[in-house]
């Protein structure tokens, strides 16, 4: 028989996530994930973006555990991080080339259009991938034990 444990409240969720702040192994429930994400968003709004960036880095293990809870590998998040780094590098190079071309004698609007198209294409790819991850984060826990450990939500008796 499988019993469902109740959702975690705000304080319980934060306690659960901070106890495992650097732990990539195991699983995390939706309530733990979303309450922690809410706090990070609120703190980012009221504090500096630098603090928000640090807090976002600290939530990487939580995101990995959330993916584990639905039976997905943490590599889904790693691909997202690498995709965003790649997007940033491509955009920096394209922006640099764009500004260099403005100061040259052979400037034309094709460079501007090329830059905008590159940005739109790569941003769209990153946005779609982030949407896929959002769907994963919203999915319910897989009952029972999976490759990442026992379910924190569904307790087998």
Name, of 61-70, 87-96, 116-125, 147-156, the range with top average pLDDT: 61-70
Tell me: pLDDT of 111 over 90: no
- Residue ranges in the chain assigned as alpha helix (H): 10-19, 30-46, 49-58, 60-69, 75-102, 109-138
Query: Cβ distance 72 to 66 under 8 Å?
Result: no
Note the pLDDT tens digit of each residue in 31-71: 999 999 999 999 999 888 888 889 989 999 999 999 999 99
Secondary structure element (H or E) that encloses residue 2, with its range: strand 2-4
pTM here is 0.84
């Amino acid at each position: 028989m499988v019993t469902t444990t109740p959702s975690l409240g705000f304080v319980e969720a934060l306690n659960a996530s901070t106890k495992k702040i650097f732990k990539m192994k195991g699983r995390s429930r939706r309530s733990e994930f979303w309450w922690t994400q809410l706090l990070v968003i609120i703190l980012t709004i009221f504090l500096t973006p630098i603090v928000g960036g640090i807090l976002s880095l600290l939530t990487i293990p939580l995101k990995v555990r959330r993916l584990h809870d639905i039976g997905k590998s943490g590599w889904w998040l790693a691909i997202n991080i690498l995709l965003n780094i790649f997007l940033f590098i491509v955009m920096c190079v394209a922006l640099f080339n764009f500004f260099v071309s403005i100061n040259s004698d052979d400037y034309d609007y094709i460079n501007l259009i090329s830059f905008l198209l590159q940005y739109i294409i790569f941003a769209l790819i990153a946005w779609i991938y982030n949407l896929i991850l959002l769907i994963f984060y919203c999915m319910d826990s897989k009952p029972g034990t999976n490759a990442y450990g026992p379910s924190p939500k569904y307790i087998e008796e």
